[in-house]
């Protein structure tokens, strides 16, 4: 028996973008066309629905997740090598040199008004 094809469900972004497009485009077309006939309103509503569907379908779908496969630890006889680098040792200034640098420049504060 053949497997039925499963279509992906729409994401929240697709629903939001499509709905906003339908609402905004309907309002804009109704206001710009100033139509009052039932046929004109129906055509505008159908055009807005088609535009909303187009926008919703062009929103990119999320990528499928890749599941990592558990691999067994190294077998007996296999050699595992790893390269570890030591963190760089940056010189730390002494507290006396920090205090001397701070005393060279006076602090100018604004008076509270």
Average pLDDT of the chain is 77
- Of 54, 14, 46, give the one whose Cα is nearest residue 30: 46
Backbone phi and psi for residue 64, each to the nearest 5 degrees, phi listed first: -70, 145
pLDDT tens readout for residues 66-109:
555 565 655 666 666 666 666 666 666 566 666 666 666 666 67
């Amino acid at each position: 028996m053949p497997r039925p094809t499963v279509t992906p469900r729409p994401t929240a972004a697709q629903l939001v973008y499509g709905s906003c497009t339908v609402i905004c485009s309907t309002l804009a077309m109704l206001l710009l066309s100033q139509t009052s006939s039932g046929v004109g309103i129906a055509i505008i509503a159908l055009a807005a629905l088609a535009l909303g569907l187009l926008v919703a379908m062009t929103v990119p779908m999320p990528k499928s997740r890749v599941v990592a496969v558990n691999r067994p630890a190294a077998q007996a006889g296999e050699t595992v090598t790893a390269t570890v680098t030591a963190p760089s040792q940056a010189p730390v200034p002494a507290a006396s040199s920090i205090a001397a640098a701070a005393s060279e420049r006076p602090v100018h504060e604004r008076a509270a008004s």
